[in-house]
């Protein structure tokens, strides 16, 4: 495929990323490319990327690509779950000169975008737009800081960030529109004689740097390879000390917008595999056959993860670690972020950059033959890895200011005074999230003793709205939303159970999915009228058309764009989700292990589904109330 693309464009300047075979052109993973001069023009530009995740590194470097009248972007291994990468031209950014745009699939898993312009146009614009299309057309700029990157492999530290400023290894950072070009500089060094510095800045090198900013310095993978550290005298090098490489900030982050839990399979069809060395690469091996081999850098891609979804779990073989400790840790961090169940009796000291919480989970020894225990282990891994190895987390570790946590406004509407205390208790359990409560009392006076006592016992901000008993339910919710001040709105029900990580998991899912609405489905249901808990068959971690009404987390801007809830007495949740999708929004369904739907008599619920519905298509059912371990409900018999 590569040879045919190059043959069809004999005059093209070729740029490659993630490609193992030799390609005549610039390898953006290994070559340092200087910024183009203002007069530089290319007859045509061909960009070759192995996967959508690889293409996002080119988007980071888009300012280094020349101007041209034709750009062809080819992604050679795109998971089937990705939509067609159709760029969205806008009047800005010189798209006005676009004269022809073709998006096609010459063979399975291969996508090609061919753009032609009537005037020379920055090729990087097309690359960035294509990468953005693979990621769902969401904004790609990482909030903070404005970063400059320099050195071999530096783009991996800001994946998919077209606002990054590539600069020369020796500096300085060029200015941007009369302002400093960056707030923080990161450069990679291939110097074998670098010396460890302080804990805050563990690398200090003799390589000269021009400019006022002192860069954060990190070793290239070659500098930390076993080949380099194992040579004569290598044991005396600073990198040979495991403590020097023990911090997560020593490895590039995981691009969680591409490598994440999406597509997780709860009932895999294949057995346990091993992560081991094959032909110099970390590889996943099952029944002595390679399922996927990871890049030399250790970067895990979306295509790698897609090939692993039917595997029950992965046991790590540390005895045959391939190119170096940083590469090994990077593979493990990527797999954990994707929720691939990982196990190992012990993790070597040189892999300390995984972070102690992740190490403990990998060593915890869960029973992966039990589907529920397996999913619980996956969820714990992904939570920890996303918070330790995600892009925002990594740059905070490098010295960027911590982002202000978003405020979530919980919309709690109830007609039952006796349930207010229970509902507020569920909200009070939420951790690792900032929230306020908008309590909509639907025909219930705020002075009711049960209500007053519940509010007094709640240690948090509560705004009370009293609605008349005959007011339409959809209007009550809209009035509650009008009193909210959060950037997210979360609709919760007054009689359902919510795990302590329910909200924080929804926010994580929002960060990696890009969907305007995130929620889950009633995977676990407690049928109180017959005292039975059921575990229903559900497909989670996917873009979907529906989530349970008591779990809807929506961006405030999206809520306002569709006009909120319709003024209906029933079906307000369904109608809201229909309206959002009709407007072009997306809904994401995350895992269901942090939520239990309480089902009593149908007449007591706005969703009046007969109880028999909940006894169909079940994986399991148990007598009594049986929460799973992630609910953390003390005093209840667990599944």
Report DSSP letters for 455-482, one per residue. HHH--S-EEEEEE-TTS-HHHHHHHHHH
CA of residue 426 relative to chain centroid, distance: 26
Helix (H, G, I), strand (E, B) or coil at 424: helix
CATH number at residue 101: 3.40.50
Give me the mean pLDDT over the 385-393 stretch.
96
Both tokens of 5, joined, read: 């693309």
367 & 417 share domain: no
Q: Tens digit of pLDDT for each residue in 520-555?
A: 999 999 999 999 999 999 999 999 999 999 999 999
Give me the mean pLDDT over the 426-445 stretch.
97
Whether 587 contacts 609, CB under 8 Å: no
Rounded Cα distance, 523 and 537, in Å: 7
| Eight-class DSSP state of 34 | P
**Which residue, among 575, 590, 585, 405, has the nearest Cα to 478 in the 3D structure?**
575
Among 106, 140, 174, where does a domain finish? 140
* Average pLDDT of the chain to the nearest whole number: 90
376 & 435 share domain: no
Would you tell me how many other CB atoms lie within 10 Å of the CB of residue 8? Answer: 12
339 & 455 share domain: no
Residues 6+ apart with CB under 8 A from 593: 375, 376, 379, 499, 523, 524, 628, 630, 631
466 & 440 share domain: yes
301 inside domain: yes
pLDDT band at residue 605 under the 50/70/90 scheme? very low
Q: Tens digit of pLDDT for each residue in 445-497?
A: 999 999 999 999 999 999 999 999 999 999 999 999 999 999 999 999 999 99
The pLDDT score that the predictor gives to residue 200 is 41
The pLDDT score that the predictor gives to residue 526 is 95
Give me the mean pLDDT over the 160-178 stretch.
90
81 inside domain: yes
| 91 pLDDT higher than 80 | no
475 & 561 share domain: yes
556 & 457 share domain: yes
The number of helix segments (H) and strand segments (E) in the chain equals 15, 31
262 inside domain: yes
Q: Tens digit of pLDDT for each residue in 567-604?
A: 998 899 999 999 999 999 999 999 999 999 998 764 45
Q: Tens digit of pLDDT for each residue in 439-459?
A: 999 999 999 999 999 999 999
381 & 460 share domain: no
Give me the mean pLDDT over the 333-343 stretch.
98
The pLDDT score that the predictor gives to residue 228 is 72
The pLDDT score that the predictor gives to residue 93 is 63
293 & 252 share domain: yes
Dihedral (CA of 566, 572, 574, 577) sign: positive
Alpha helices in 135-190 (DSSP H): none
| Eight-class DSSP state of 363 | T
246 & 337 share domain: yes
| 113 pLDDT higher than 60 | yes
47 inside domain: yes
The pLDDT score that the predictor gives to residue 203 is 44
Q: Tell me how long the chain is.
A: 639
The pLDDT score that the predictor gives to residue 194 is 42
Q: Which residues of 211-243 are buried (b: 16+ CB within 10 A; e: fewer)?
A: bebebbbbbbbbbbbbebbeeeeeeebbbbeee
| 33 pLDDT higher than 80 | no
Give me the mean pLDDT over the 140-156 stretch.
85
Rounded Cα distance, 116 and 68, in Å: 9
Which residues are paired to 543 by β-bridges?
588
Backbone φ and ψ of 455, nearest 5°: -65, -40
Among 341, 372, 402, where does a domain finish? 402
The pLDDT score that the predictor gives to residue 201 is 38
CATH number at residue 590: 3.90.550.10
Q: For the chain, how many structural domains are there in total? A: 3
Q: Are strands 12-17 and 26-27 parallel, antiparallel or unpaired?
A: parallel
161 inside domain: no
| Eight-class DSSP state of 267 | S
The pLDDT score that the predictor gives to residue 197 is 36
466 & 331 share domain: no
Helix (H, G, I), strand (E, B) or coil at 535: strand
423 & 317 share domain: no
Task: Select the more confidently predicted residue: 404 or 367.
Answer: 367
Q: Label residue 369 exposed, middle or buried (CB < 10 Å: 0-12, 13-18, 19+).
A: exposed
213 inside domain: no
| 412 pLDDT higher than 60 | yes
Q: Label residue 609 exposed, middle or buried (CB < 10 Å: 0-12, 13-18, 19+).
A: exposed
CA dihedral 16, 22, 27, 30 (to 10 degrees): 140
The pLDDT score that the predictor gives to residue 619 is 87
Q: At what angle do helices 52-60 and 123-134 cross, to 10 degrees?
A: 140
Backbone φ and ψ of 222, nearest 5°: -65, -40
pLDDT band at residue 141 under the 50/70/90 scheme? low
| 192 pLDDT higher than 60 | no
| 301 pLDDT higher than 90 | yes
The pLDDT > 70 percentage for the chain reads 93
412 inside domain: yes
351 & 425 share domain: no
Q: Tens digit of pLDDT for each residue in 548-576?
A: 999 999 999 999 999 999 999 889 999 99
335 inside domain: yes
Helix (H, G, I), strand (E, B) or coil at 204: strand
Q: What is the pTM of this model?
A: 0.93
Among 140, 164, 195, where does a domain finish? 140
Is the bond preceding 172 in cis, omega lying within 30 degrees of 0?
yes
* Residues of the domain holding 339: 221-402
């Amino acid at each position: 495929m590569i040879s045919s693309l190059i043959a069809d464009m004999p005059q093209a300047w070729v740029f490659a990323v993630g490609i193992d075979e030799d390609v005549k052109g610039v390898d953006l993973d290994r070559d340092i490319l200087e910024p183009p001069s203002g007069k530089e023009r290319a007859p045509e530009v061909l960009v070759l990327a192995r996967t959508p995740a690889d293409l996002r590194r080119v988007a980071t470097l888009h300012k280094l690509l020349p101007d041209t009248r034709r750009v062809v972007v080819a992604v050679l291994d795109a998971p089937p779950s990705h939509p067609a990468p159709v760029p969205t031209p806008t009047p800005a950014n010189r798209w006005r000169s676009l004269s022809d745009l073709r998006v096609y699939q010459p063979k399975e898993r291969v996508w090609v975008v061919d753009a032609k312009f009537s005037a020379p146009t920055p090729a990087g614009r097309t690359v960035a737009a294509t990468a953005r299309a693979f990621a769902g057309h969401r904004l790609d700029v990482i909030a903070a800081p404005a970063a400059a990157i320099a050195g071999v492999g530096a783009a991996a530290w800001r994946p998919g960030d077209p606002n990054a400023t590539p600069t020369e290894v020796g500096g300085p950072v060029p200015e941007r529109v009369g302002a400093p070009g960056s707030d923080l500089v990161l450069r990679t060094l291939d110097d074998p004689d670098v010396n460890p510095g302080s804990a805050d800045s563990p690398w200090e090198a003799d390589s000269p740097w021009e400019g006022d900013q002192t860069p954060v310095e990190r070793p290239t993978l070659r500098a930390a390879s076993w080949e380099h550290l194992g040579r004569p005298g290598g044991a005396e090098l600073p990198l040979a000390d495991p403590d020097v490489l023990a911090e997560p900030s020593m490895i590039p982050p995981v691009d969680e917008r591409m490598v994440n839990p999406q597509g997780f399979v709860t009932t895999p069809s294949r057995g346990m595999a091993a992560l081991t060395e094959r032909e110099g690469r970390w590889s996943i091996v099952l029944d002595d056959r390679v399922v996927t081999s990871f890049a030399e850098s250790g970067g895990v891609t979306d295509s790698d993860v897609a090939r692993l979804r039917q595997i029950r779990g992965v046991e790590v073989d540390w005895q045959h670690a391939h190119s170096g400790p940083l590469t090994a840790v990077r593979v493990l961090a990527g797999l954990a972020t994707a929720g691939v169940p990982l196990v190992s009796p012990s993790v070597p000291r040189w892999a300390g950059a995984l972070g102690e919480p992740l190490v403990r989970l990998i060593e915890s020894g869960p029973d992966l033959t039990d589907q529920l225990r397996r999913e619980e282990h996956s969820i714990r891994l992904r939570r920890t890895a996303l918070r330790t190895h995600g892009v925002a987390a990594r740059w905070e570790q490098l010295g960027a200011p911590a982002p202000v946590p978003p405020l979530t406004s919980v919309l709690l509407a109830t007609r039952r005074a006796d349930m207010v205390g229970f509902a507020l208790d569920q909200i009070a359990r939420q951790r690792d999230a900032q929230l306020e409560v908008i309590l909509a009392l639907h025909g219930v006076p705020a002075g009711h003793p049960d209500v007053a006592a519940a509010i007094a016992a709640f240690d948090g901000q509560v705004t009370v709205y009293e609605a008349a008993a005959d007011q339409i339910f959809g209007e009550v919710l809209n009035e509650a939303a009008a009193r909210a001040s959060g950037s997210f709105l979360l609709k919760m029900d007054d009689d359902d159970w919510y795990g302590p990580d329910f909200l924080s998991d929804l926010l994580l899912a929002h960060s990696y999915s890009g969907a305007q609405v995130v929620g889950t489905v009633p995977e676990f249901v407690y049928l109180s009228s017959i005292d039975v808990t059921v575990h229903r068959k559900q497909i989670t971690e996917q873009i979907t058309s529906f989530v349970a009404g008591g779990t809807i987390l929506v961006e405030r801007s999206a809520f306002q764009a569709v006009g909120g809830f319709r003024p209906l007495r029933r079906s307000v949740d369904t109608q809201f989700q229909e309206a959002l999708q009709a407007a072009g929004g997306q809904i994401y369904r995350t895992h269901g292990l942090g939520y239990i739907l309480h089902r009593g008599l149908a007449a007591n619920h706005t969703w009046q589904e007969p109880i028999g519905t909940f006894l169909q298509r079940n994986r399991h059912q148990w007598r009594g109330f049986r929460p799973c371990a992630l609910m953390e409900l003390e005093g209840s018999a667990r599944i």
